[in-house]
Amino acid sequence: MDTATRTCLSEDVRSVLLAVLLAATARADDPTATLRFVRDGVEVKTLDLASLKAACPVATVAIDDPYYAARKSYVGCPLRTVLALGFGDPAALADSDVLLRARDGYTKPARGAQLLEDGGWIAFADASRKDGPGSPWEPIGRQQVDPGPFYLVWSKPEQRDENRYPWPYQLATIEVTDLARKYPHIVPSSAAPGTPAWEGFAVFRTDCIACHSINGEGGKVGPDLNVPQSIVEYRPAAQVKAYVRNPGTFRYTTMPAHQYLSAAQLDGLIAYFETMKTLKHDPGHDPGHDPGHAP
């Protein structure tokens, strides 16, 4: 489930501690900060901040930032230019899936065509700070972390909805891949095309996989939703849908609300979970080992 705030109750303490550590080190790392470019698991290029600034048209851009809920000014490079520096001809990325990985493991998927739109920027300094763009970033999000060294932002009004456009901060790696090929065990292969399970799969890959996995494949910030038990095997469907829509009514958590999901999309998500519970693949389970007996 989405937005650049990090999710999930059972991992909250670990995530907060990790975020604090990263915030403490991000500023010291900035002079040598690097952005990795990966294609199907193989690194093709790495750019440090100095090289990036030297190779792209650096500009200051005004942004209505949804996470700060304020008008900000950032120093950065156009996203399309950064993609070209990392992968070559950016037009070749249009039909690809792209995984945007943050330092703490948060991974936001996006379509290449969306990332090639005008309006995307890789920001590396906050010009809004009173001491200028060389001063530390203003802490961001519920965990109040430093969003540097790289923060993907969008400048056009129609791109400011963080539920429709990716806004990952502490960006570390951009990977071009095919999501279904990279994570074959998240696909509801037993369901007929066009059924609710496939609509739920679309919701999962857009709104959930950034933090959650299915069958060990996907995000690592939050818990796996299918193994060893599917979430619908120990929670009633109505409760799962209510929690996804507004987790804050259940407990204090960094998991964001998903009020924008329709009833049909939530029904599809449940159908997807119901299908995937029959397609379990648990890479962490050794069938030859009985945990009830000593080896």
- Kindly list the distances between the CA atom of residue 149 and the CA atoms of 16, 103, 173, 264, 291, in Å, as whole numbers in the listed order: 19, 10, 12, 39, 44
38: which strand partners? 43, 175
Tell me if the pTM is above 0.85.
no
> What's the CA gap between 65 and 188, in Å, rounded?
36
* Sign of torsion over alpha carbons 133, 143, 246, 220: positive
| Of 201, 214, 121, residue with least CA distance to 159 | 121
For residue 199, give the nearest of 109, 93, 274 by alpha carbon: 274
Strands 97-102 and 42-48: unpaired
Average pLDDT for runs of 10 along the chain of length 295 = 40 40 42 87 95 95 94 96 95 93 89 96 90 76 87 96 91 94 95 96 91 92 94 97 94 87 96 97 64 33
pLDDT of residue 212: 93
Pair type for strands 97-102 and 171-177: antiparallel
What pLDDT does residue 267 have?
97
Cβ-contact 247, 259 below 8 angstroms: no
CATH numbers and ranges of domains, the chain: 14-178 (3.90.420.10), 183-276 (1.10.760.10)
